[in-house]
Structure 1
Amino acid sequence: MPDHERAVHPPSLRDGRLEAALRTLELTVRGRLDGLLQGNHLGLVPGPGSEAGEARPYLAGDDVRRMDWAVTARTTEPHVRETIADRELETWVVLDLSPSLDFGTAGCEKRDLAVAALAAVAHLTRGGGNRIGALVATGERTHRFPPRGGIGHARTLIRQVAQTPRAAEGTRGDLTAAIEQLRRPPRRRGLAVVISDFLGEPEWERALRGLSARHDLLAVEVLDPRELDLPDVGTVVLADPETGEQREVETTPLLRREYAAAASAHRDRVATALRRTGAAHLRLRTDSDWIADIVRFALTRKRAWSGGAG
Structure 2
Amino acid sequence: MTPPTRLPATGERSGAVLARLQLMVTRKLDGLLQGDYAGLLPGPGSEAGESREYRPGDDVRRMDWPVTARTTLPHVRRTVADRELETWLAVDLSASLDFGTGRWLKRDVVVAAAAALAHLTVRGGNRIGAVVGTGAPVPDRTGRWRGGAPAAGPGTLLRLPARAGRKEAQGLLRAIAGTQIRPGRSDLGALVDMLNRPPRRRGVAVVISDFLAPPQQWGRPIRKLRVRHDVLAIEVVDPRELELPDVGVLPVVDPETGELHEVQTADPGLRRRYAEAAAAQRAAIAAELRTAGAAHLRLRTDRDWLLDMVRFVAAQRHARTRGTTR
Offset of 1:62 from its aligned partner? Answer: 4.1
**Amino acid corresponding to residue 97 of structure 2 in structure 1:** L
Offset of 1:172 from its aligned partner? Answer: 2.1
1:65 and 1:255 mapped to 2: Cα distance? 51
**Aligned partners of 1:11 and 1:24 also within 8 Å:** no
**Amino acid corresponding to residue 121 of structure 2 in structure 1:** T
**Amino acid corresponding to residue 287 of structure 1 in structure 2:** D
1:40 and 1:267 mapped to 2: Cα distance? 33
What's the TM-score, normalizing by structure 1? 0.91
2:290 and 2:101 mapped to 1: Cα distance? 28
Equivalent pairs, count: 301
Offset of 1:306 from its aligned partner? Answer: 1.4
Q: Deviations along 1:278-310, whole A, 9 cap, x unmatched?
A: 111111111111111111111111111113479
**Amino acid corresponding to residue 26 of structure 1 in structure 2:** Q
Offset of 1:81 from its aligned partner? Answer: 1.3
Offset of 1:209 from its aligned partner? Answer: 0.7
Q: Any stretches of 5+ residues in structure 1 without a counterpart?
A: none
1:293 and 2:308 matched: yes
**Aligned partners of 2:38 and 2:83 also within 8 Å:** no
Matches within 5 A, 1:24-103: 24-41=20-37, 44-45=40-41, 47-59=43-55, 62-103=58-99
- The structure 1 residue matched to 2:255, chosen from 220, 226, 241, is 241
**Amino acid corresponding to residue 319 of structure 2 in structure 1:** A
1:205 is matched with 219
**Aligned partners of 1:271 and 1:281 also within 8 Å:** yes
Q: Deviations along 1:9-44, whole A, 9 cap, x unmatched?
A: 986235972122111100110010000003254783
**Aligned partners of 1:46 and 1:217 also within 8 Å:** no
Offset of 1:48 from its aligned partner? Answer: 2.5
**Aligned partners of 2:36 and 2:126 also within 8 Å:** no
What's the TM-score, normalizing by structure 2? 0.87
1:10 and 1:120 mapped to 2: Cα distance? 18
1:185 and 2:198 matched: yes
1:270 is matched with 285
2:44 and 2:5 mapped to 1: Cα distance? 29
1:158 is matched with 173
Q: Deviations along 1:238-270, whole A, 9 cap, x unmatched?
A: 222112222111011111111111101100000
1:136 and 2:115 matched: no
1:279 is matched with 294
Distance change in 2, residues 1:302/1:125 (3 Å): same
**Amino acid corresponding to residue 313 of structure 2 in structure 1:** A
**Aligned partners of 1:88 and 1:131 also within 8 Å:** yes
2:143 is matched with none
**Amino acid corresponding to residue 8 of structure 2 in structure 1:** L
SS in 1 for 2:194: helix
- Percent same amino acid among aligned pairs? 59
Q: Any stretches of 5+ residues in structure 2 without a counterpart?
A: 137-155
2:18 is matched with 22
**Aligned partners of 1:110 and 1:223 also within 8 Å:** yes
Offset of 1:84 from its aligned partner? Answer: 1.3
1:233 and 1:192 mapped to 2: Cα distance? 41
**Amino acid corresponding to residue 12 of structure 1 in structure 2:** L
1:217 is matched with 231
Distance change in 2, residues 1:38/1:308 (3 Å): closer
**Aligned partners of 2:243 and 2:278 also within 8 Å:** yes
1:172 and 1:19 mapped to 2: Cα distance? 27
- The structure 1 residue matched to 2:186, chosen from 173, 185, 188, is 173
**Aligned partners of 2:90 and 2:208 also within 8 Å:** yes
Offset of 1:67 from its aligned partner? Answer: 2.8
In angstroms, what is the RMSD of aligned CA positions? 2.2
Q: Deviations along 1:67-87, whole A, 9 cap, x unmatched?
A: 322211111122121111111
Q: Which moved more, 1:46-55 or 1:130-139?
A: 46-55
Distance change in 2, residues 1:33/1:255 (3 Å): same
**Aligned partners of 1:43 and 1:302 also within 8 Å:** no
